[in-house]
């Protein structure tokens, strides 16, 4: 490992390129006597003669020329790291989270949350098994349960409703079969409804909401989905009325300190407007639902 301190190497670079202590002192703000002592110390540490000192200044010795080439490479690498760091923090990030269904909705409508000219970035997070805002797991979250403690700003939003869905092309035999999330993946009453009501008819299990949707769509059986998901899918038909016992409100939540950040305020307002605009889809009265009869079931 190189024993030389980077600060000494940086001073060496300025002495070498400025031709002496005076120019290096002007460039760095370090006094000329201090730089002189540091260069002597660097030579002793490296065991190399770096400069030929004379009345006209500091001329690089052979080993000094070799070291200067190495230091130039190091400085380019350091500059690249600084550029990378500046790029990473050039724009603030607002992380937004919800369960798998809500996170998918936010991702589908990301352009309504962040415009091309907005001076911030967004990160969409799926937190199906729970979310702890106390430790800033997200800047903004859409939750099914209003936080009962903590320093949070909470906005009530639309109601979430659920229904039973099957594939439009489902066979008659499959209408007696059910698809459910596994108990280890069930985080809400809607996740648990199928195995609480039809456990002996479950023929297929899924470990995630995405897989659940795929299985229902492919006709493996009936399953429970949010109305805004099922009604919008042309491959699915709703079987019967929404399950009223599963209705629940949604809450837009942010840490009370974070909501004072301009970009977080913007995101909060836009998510509130987005959900309000799509309240009909969440309530199941958007007019896009395919009923059992319409599906030929």
Would you say domain 93-159+248-277 falls under CATH 3.60.20.10? Answer: no
Q: Which helix (H) or strand (E) holds 210?
A: helix 209-217
Q: Which of 44, 108, 135 is nearest to 281 (CA)?
A: 108
Q: Which helix (H) or strand (E) holds 63?
A: helix 62-88
Indicate the domain borders of the chain.
Answer: 6-88, 93-159+248-277, 162-246
pLDDT confidence band for 151 (50 / 70 / 90) = confident
Q: Which of 101, 30, 42 is nearest to 278 (CA)?
A: 101
- Whether pTM > 0.75 for this model: the answer is no
Same fold: 93-159+248-277 with 162-246: yes
CATH code at 162-246: 3.40.190.10
Rounded CA-CA distance 275/158 in Å is 6
pLDDT in tens, 63-87: 999 999 999 999 999 888 877 776 6
Write down the mean pLDDT value for the chain. 88
CATH code at 6-88: 1.10.10.10
With contact defined as beta carbons under 8 Å apart, do 107 and 64 qualify?
A: no
pLDDT at 1: 39
With contact defined as beta carbons under 8 Å apart, do 155 and 129 qualify?
A: no
pLDDT in tens, 118-136: 989 999 988 755 566 656 6
Rounded CA-CA distance 65/59 in Å is 10
Which residue, chain included where needed, has tokens 């470990």?
Answer: 207
Beta-strand ranges (E) seen in the chain are: 51-54, 57-60, 93-98, 121-126, 140-143, 152-160, 162-167, 178-181, 202-206, 223-226, 236-238, 248-255
With contact defined as beta carbons under 8 Å apart, do 160 and 248 qualify?
A: yes
Q: What is the mean pLDDT of residues 100-109?
A: 94
pLDDT at 273: 97
Q: Which of 144, 156, 147, 228 is nearest to 188 (CA)?
A: 144
């Amino acid at each position: 490992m190189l024993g030389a301190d980077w600060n000494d190497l940086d001073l060496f670079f300025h002495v070498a390129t400025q031709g002496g202590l005076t120019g290096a002192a002007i460039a760095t703000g370090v006094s000329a006597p201090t730089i002189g002592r540091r260069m002597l110390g660097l030579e002793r540490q490296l065991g190399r003669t770096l400069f030929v000192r004379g009345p006209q200044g500091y001329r690089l010795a052979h080993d000094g020329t070799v070291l200067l080439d190495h230091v130039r490479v190091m400085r380019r690498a350091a500059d690249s790291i600084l550029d990378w760091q500046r790029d990473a923090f050039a724009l603030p990030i607002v992380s937004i989270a919800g369960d798998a269904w809500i996170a998918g909705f936010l991702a589908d409508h990301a352009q309504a949350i962040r415009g091309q000219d907005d001076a911030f970035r967004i990160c969409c997070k799926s937190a199906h098994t729970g979310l702890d805002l106390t430790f800033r797991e997200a800047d903004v979250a859409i939750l099914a349960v209003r936080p009962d403690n903590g320093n949070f700003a909470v906005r009530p939003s639309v109601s979430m409703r659920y229904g039973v869905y099957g594939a439009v092309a489902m066979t008659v035999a499959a209408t007696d079969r059910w698809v459910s999330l596994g108990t280890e993946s069930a985080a809400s009453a809607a996740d648990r409804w199928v195995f609480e009501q039809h456990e002996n008819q479950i023929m297929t299990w899924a470990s995630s909401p995405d897989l659940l949707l795929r299985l229902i769509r492919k006709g493996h059986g009936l399953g429970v989905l949010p109305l805004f998901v099922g009604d919008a899918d042309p491959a699915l038909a709703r079987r019967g009325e929404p399950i009223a016992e599963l209705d629940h409100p949604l809450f837009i939540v942010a840490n009370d300190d974070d909501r004072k950040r301009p970009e977080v305020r913007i995101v909060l307002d836009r998510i509130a407007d987005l959900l309000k605009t799509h309240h009909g889809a969440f309530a199941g009265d958007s007019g896009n639902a395919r009923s059992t009869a319409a599906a030929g079931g």
